[in-house]
Amino acid sequence: MANPAPDLQCLDLTKDFDDFRAVDHVSFEVPQGSFFSILGPSGCGKTTLLRMIAGFQSPSSGDLLIKGASMIGVPPNKRPVSMVFQHLALFPTMNIGDNVGFGLRQRGVARAEIARRVDEILARVGLPGVAGRRVDQLSGGQKQRVAIARCMVLEPDVLLLDEPLGALDLKLREHMKVELKSLQAAFNTTFVYITHDQSEALVMSDNIAVMNRGRFEQIGPPQEVYHSPDTAFVAGFVGEANRIDARLVSVNGPVLTLESESGAALSVEAAQSGLSAGQRAQVFLRPEAIELTTSAEGLEGRENVTKGTVASVLFNGANSSVTVQHASGTPISVALPQTGDMAKLRPGSTVYTSWHPGRARVYPAPGA
């Protein structure tokens, strides 16, 4: 990065409410022009964090820098950030043009100049000529784009987005994900996006921070967060995963041998798990990491082969899955390829599951 100061930098940011710590020593930085997501379950402190960046709440300790300048004590209307609110907060008493021009009017920009820039920004978000319309005459997706235009017309250093897609229906949400990403690329502005929806974060982000109980559990690109989660929480929260509670039996170099609570033997590759024999652990296994076959042929020499029966088939197009019940233990979810004889699987069919030791992740069990 040629730019020495990142657009947004949080140093040891903490926020306490009475006796509750909403944000706990969070540090991160967002380089210019990138799409940064903060992903976490509701109540994890992500909204508080965003409101601190916007200036609506002040941190209990720590520092917040935008383009290298500290924002502590700077009121929200003086910060070079803009925010797209959860319910967009478009002003219902103004038409679209006045909504988008609001920020420019506050800056005392000349009337003609405002009109020109409003038209220009509306055209850039793909809504030319709507300036005269009322807010309630637009569809959900159009309002979304107006809300973004209203912020972008001010050319903020950082655009904050507070789960703006939450209120949209599924189809439109899928569409807006792609659109938001391309708008971000077109404006080349730093976006900080908070969401509890892991697919939104995975699709759009350059970097994702997974947040839990006021702390960042992991920061990294989507692929890294998905494929090599740092903690059990990240493995369980991002994407689908089967969790198997187990006990470590032995360590053979990078290969761990575990015994699940139901008595099945598991073999997992984990170079630095930090686990020692006898310790309780959790094994996370993605549904698509498990291979499904209808016969035992060709499985000789494979590891983690188990025979089971199909408990249920959940057809969902390309995302179909089956739950497989092994001789013991809880049923596991396995991705179902829509090919060949797999399409004929019915509840009660006998199947074999196998998975490569390198594709599972193992973590110490909480409290162990």
Residue ranges binding other proteins (CB under 8 A): 54-56, 75-78, 81-83, 85-87, 89, 91-94, 102-103, 105-107, 150-151, 154
Contact in structure between 48 and 78 (CB atoms under 8 Å): no
Closest CA to 50 of 152, 188, 158, 207: 158
**What DSSP line would sit under 221-283, residue for residue?**
-HHHHHHS-SSHHHHHHSS--EEEEEEEEEEETTEEEEEETTS-EEEEE-TT----TT-EEEE
What kind and span of H or E run contains 307? strand 306-314
Closest CA to 236 of 274, 285, 183, 197: 285
The least CB distance from residue 147 to other proteins, in Å, is: 9
Distance CA 216, CA 194 (A): 13
Instruction: Kindly tell me which of 93 and 188 has the beta carbon lying closer to other proteins.
Output: 93
The least CB distance from residue 13 to other proteins, in Å, is: 19
Instruction: Kindly tell me which of 158 and 183 has the beta carbon lying closer to other proteins.
Output: 158
Instruction: Kindly tell me which of 118 and 232 has the beta carbon lying closer to other proteins.
Output: 118
Distance CA 80, CA 76 (A): 9
The least CB distance from residue 125 to other proteins, in Å, is: 16
In sequence order, the 6+-apart residues with CB closer than 8 A to the CB of 356 are: 289, 303, 304
The least CB distance from residue 226 to other proteins, in Å, is: 32
The least CB distance from residue 30 to other proteins, in Å, is: 18
Instruction: Kindly tell me which of 85 and 168 has the beta carbon lying closer to other proteins.
Output: 85
Closest CA to 7 of 26, 27, 34: 34
Tell the burial category of 230 from Cβ atoms under 10 Å away from its Cβ (0-12, 13-18, 19+): middle
Instruction: Kindly tell me which of 105 and 175 has the beta carbon lying closer to other proteins.
Output: 105
Instruction: Kindly tell me which of 51 and 361 has the beta carbon lying closer to other proteins.
Output: 51
Instruction: Kindly tell me which of 51 and 286 has the beta carbon lying closer to other proteins.
Output: 51
The least CB distance from residue 143 to other proteins, in Å, is: 13
The least CB distance from residue 89 to other proteins, in Å, is: 4
The least CB distance from residue 21 to other proteins, in Å, is: 22
The least CB distance from residue 159 to other proteins, in Å, is: 11
Closest CA to 28 of 184, 165, 208, 177: 208
Distance CA 165, CA 150 (A): 16
Instruction: Kindly tell me which of 76 and 236 has the beta carbon lying closer to other proteins.
Output: 76
Instruction: Kindly tell me which of 64 and 281 has the beta carbon lying closer to other proteins.
Output: 64
In sequence order, the 6+-apart residues with CB closer than 8 A to the CB of 170 are: none
Residues β-bridged to residue 323: 312, 333
In sequence order, the 6+-apart residues with CB closer than 8 A to the CB of 320 are: 313, 314, 335, 336, 338
